[in-house]
C-alpha cells in the first residue's frame, strides 16, 4: 500500500520531471559522445576538470539568484531587477578595488580597498536595492513587475555612472579566487552555491519562514487575518533576492576580472524565473521547491553546454533552447502529469483486475 502511494507521489511531483528531463538530455550526450562525461584531475589548478563540472560551475550565478527568486515567486511575485543588480554589484566591486584606474590603467594583483570592504559595500548596496523592491511591493502595494522594473532600468544606469561607462579590470588574486579558486577539488562557485543552498534550506525548512512564505503565497489576505505579518515576509524575500543577486554579480565579475556593466547579468531575470518554473514552483505562488530550482538552473546550463560542446549552429541556439524548455515545461503541466499518473494507475488496476479476476 505504502509503495503504491509513493509511486503516485513521485509521478505527480514536479521535481521528478525536472530530473527526468535532465537525465534525458545527458543520455543524448552519452549516446553522441561518451567523452562528455570524462572528468579528470587538473594538477595545475588543483581542480576536477570536465564538462559536468563546467555545468555545475557555470550554473552557479543563475542558481544563486534563482534560490531567492523561488521565494519571490512563491509569494506570487517576480523580480525583474536581478540582472541589473548583477551588473551593479560588479561595478561597485571593481570601482572599490580600482579607485586608481585613471592613474594606473594596467591591472595588477592588488586592491585599493581591503577585500572585506569590497564585499560588504557591494553586497550591502545590492541588499538595499532588494529592500527597495521589497518596500515598493509590500508597503506601497505596487505590482511586482512594475516595482522591480524601476531598478531593472535604473540599476544598469547606476552601474555605468559608478564606473564612468568604462570597463575596469583587476588581477587581484583573492578576488579572482571566488571564481577560479577551489576547495575540495571543486571550483569555488560550486562551493558558494552549495553553502547558500544549505542556508536557504535551513532558513525555509528549519524555521517557520518557509511555511509563512507558502501561506502568504497561497492566500495573503487569509494569512494576514490569521496574524501573519505578510508584508514583512514579502519584504524579506525581495531583500534576500537582492543580496543573492549581489553575490552572483561578484562571481561574474571575478570570472572575467572586470566589470562589464553593459553585458553582465543580461537576461538573468528570465533565466532565473525559468529555473524556478522548471523546478516546479508555480508562478501563481504557494508551494515552492528549492531543490527543484537548483535542478531547473542545471537543466538550463546543460542545454547551453550541450550547444557549445556539440557545436549547434549559432543561428539555431535560441530555437533549440526554447524547444527543450517547452518540452520540459509541458511535461510538468498539471494536466499532463495528471494524465500520465492516471494512465499508470488505470493500467495497474487493469492488470490487478486480470490477476484477481
Partner 1 sequence: MKKLIAVILSLALVMALGTTALAQDTLTVAFSQIGQESDWRTANTDDVCKAIQDAGWNLVYDDAQQKQENQVKALRNFITQGVDYIVFTAIVTTGWDEVLQEVKDSEIPLVLIDRFPQTSFADDSWFTAFFGGDFVEEGARAARWIVNYYKSLGRGDEEVNIVRLEGTTTSDPQVGRSKGFDDVIVNYPNFKIVASQTGNFTSAEGQAVMESFLKSVDKIDVLWAENDQMALGAIEAIKAAGLQPGKDIIIVGCDGVKLAFEAIVNGEMNCTVECTPLMGSRVVEVITGLEAGETFPKIVHPVEYVYDANGGIAYTDDGTALTRKAADYIAERLY
Nearer to partner 1, 236 or 258 (CB): 258
Tally of residues, the chain: 357
Nearer to partner 1, 75 or 304 (CB): 304
Nearer to partner 1, 316 or 333 (CB): 316
Answer whether 155's CB lies under 8 Å from 163's CB: no
Residues 38 to 77 in contact with partner 1, rule: CB under 8 A: 38, 42-45, 47, 49-51, 54, 58
Nearer to partner 1, 35 or 334 (CB): 35
Nearer to partner 1, 315 or 354 (CB): 315
Nearer to partner 1, 116 or 313 (CB): 313
Binding mask 87-126 for partner 1 (x = CB under 8 A): ------------------xxx-------------------
- ∠ CA 205-210-215, rounded to 5°: 140
CB of 41 to partner 1, least distance (A): 10
CB of 346 to partner 1, least distance (A): 44
Q: 246 CB contacts (<8 Å, ≥6 apart)?
A: 85, 86, 88, 89, 122, 123, 125, 126, 127
CB of 164 to partner 1, least distance (A): 8
**Residue-wise DSSP of 218-232:** H-HHHHHHTT--HHH
Binding region for partner 1 (CB under 8 A) out of 5-13, 91-99, 237-245, 252-260 = 252-260
191 binds partner 1 (CB under 8 A): no
Nearer to partner 1, 118 or 307 (CB): 307
Spatial separation of the C-alpha atoms in residues 279 and 69, rounded to whole Å:
12
CB of 250 to partner 1, least distance (A): 13
Angle between helices 317-332 and 14-32 (to 10 degrees): 140
Place of cell 570536465: 50
Nearer to partner 1, 37 or 339 (CB): 37
> Is 133 in a helix, a strand, or coil?
helix
Answer whether 170's CB lies under 8 Å from 97's CB: yes
CA distances from 322 to 219, 278, 283, 306 (A): 32, 13, 19, 14
CB of 275 to partner 1, least distance (A): 17
Q: Please tell me the count of residues contacting partner 1 according to CB under 8 A.
A: 42
Answer whether 187's CB lies under 8 Å from 47's CB: yes
Residues 150 to 169 in contact with partner 1, rule: CB under 8 A: 160, 165-167, 169
Binding region for partner 1 (CB under 8 A) out of 7-15, 35-43, 326-334, 347-355 = 35-43
Binding region for partner 1 (CB under 8 A) out of 32-40, 117-125, 137-145, 283-291 = 32-40
Nearer to partner 1, 319 or 355 (CB): 319
- 3-state DSSP percent of the chain in helix, strand and coil, to 5: 75, 5, 25
CB crowding 102-113: b at 16 or more within 10 Å, else e: eeeeebeeebbe
**Residue-wise DSSP of 40-84:** EEETTTTEEESHHHHHHHHHHHHHHHHHHHHHHHHTT---TTHHH
Residues 275 to 314 in contact with partner 1, rule: CB under 8 A: 304-305, 307-311, 314
CB of 167 to partner 1, least distance (A): 5
Residue in 332, 71, 296, 12 with CA at minimum distance from that of residue 205 = 71
Spatial separation of the C-alpha atoms in residues 10 and 90, rounded to whole Å:
41
Read off the DSSP letter of residue 103. Answer: T
Interface contacts to partner 1, rule CB under 8 A: 33, 35-36, 38, 42-45, 47, 49-51, 54, 58, 105-107, 160, 165-167, 169, 180, 252, 255-258, 260, 262-264, 304-305, 307-311, 314-315, 317
Amino acid at each position: 500500500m505504502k509503495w503504491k502511494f509513493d509511486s503516485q507521489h513521485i509521478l505527480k511531483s514536479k521535481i521528478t520531471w525536472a530530473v527526468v528531463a535532465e537525465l534525458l538530455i545527458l543520455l543524448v550526450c552519452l549516446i553522441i559522445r561518451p567523452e562528455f562525461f570524462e572528468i579528470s584531475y587538473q594538477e595545475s589548478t588543483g581542480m576536477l576538470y570536465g564538462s559536468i563540472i563546467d555545468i555545475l560551475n557555470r550554473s552557479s550565478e543563475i542558481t544563486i539568484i534563482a534560490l531567492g527568486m523561488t521565494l519571490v515567486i512563491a509569494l506570487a511575485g517576480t523580480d525583474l531587477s536581478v540582472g541589473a543588480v548583477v551588473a551593479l554589484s560588479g561595478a561597485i566591486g571593481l570601482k572599490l578595488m580600482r579607485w586608481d584606474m585613471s592613474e594606473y590603467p594596467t591591472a595588477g594583483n592588488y586592491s585599493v580597498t581591503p577585500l572585506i570592504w569590497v564585499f560588504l559595500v557591494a553586497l550591502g548596496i545590492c541588499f538595499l536595492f532588494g529592500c527597495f523592491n521589497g518596500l515598493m511591493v509590500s508597503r506601497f502595494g505596487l505590482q511586482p513587475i512594475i516595482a522591480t522594473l524601476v531598478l531593472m532600468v535604473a540599476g544598469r544606469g547606476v552601474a555605468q555612472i559608478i564606473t564612468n561607462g568604462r570597463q575596469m579590470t583587476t588581477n587581484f588574486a583573492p578576488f579572482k579566487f571566488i571564481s577560479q579558486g577551489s576547495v575540495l577539488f571543486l571550483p569555488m562557485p560550486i562551493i558558494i552555491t552549495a553553502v547558500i543552498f544549505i542556508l536557504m534550506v535551513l532558513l525555509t525548512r528549519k524555521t517557520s519562514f518557509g511555511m509563512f512564505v507558502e501561506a502568504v503565497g497561497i492566500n495573503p489576505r487569509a494569512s494576514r487575518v490569521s496574524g501573519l505579518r505578510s508584508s514583512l515576509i514579502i519584504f524579506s524575500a525581495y531583500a534576500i533576492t537582492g543580496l543573492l543577486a549581489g553575490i552572483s554579480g561578484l562571481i561574474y565579475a571575478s570570472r572575467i576580472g572586470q566589470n562589464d556593466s553593459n553585458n553582465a547579468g543580461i537576461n538573468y531575470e528570465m533565466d532565473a524565473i525559468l529555473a524556478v518554473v522548471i523546478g516546479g514552483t508555480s508562478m501563481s505562488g504557494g508551494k515552492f521547491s528549492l531543490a527543484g530550482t537548483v535542478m531547473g538552473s542545471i537543466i538550463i546550463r546543460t542545454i547551453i553546454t550541450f550547444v557549445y560542446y556539440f557545436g549547434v549552429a549559432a543561428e539555431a541556439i535560441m530555437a533549440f533552447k526554447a524547444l527543450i524548455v517547452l518540452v520540459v515545461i509541458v511535461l510538468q503541466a498539471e494536466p499532463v502529469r495528471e494524465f500520465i499518473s492516471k494512465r499508470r494507475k488505470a493500467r495497474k488496476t487493469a492488470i490487478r483486475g486480470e490477476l484477481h479476476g
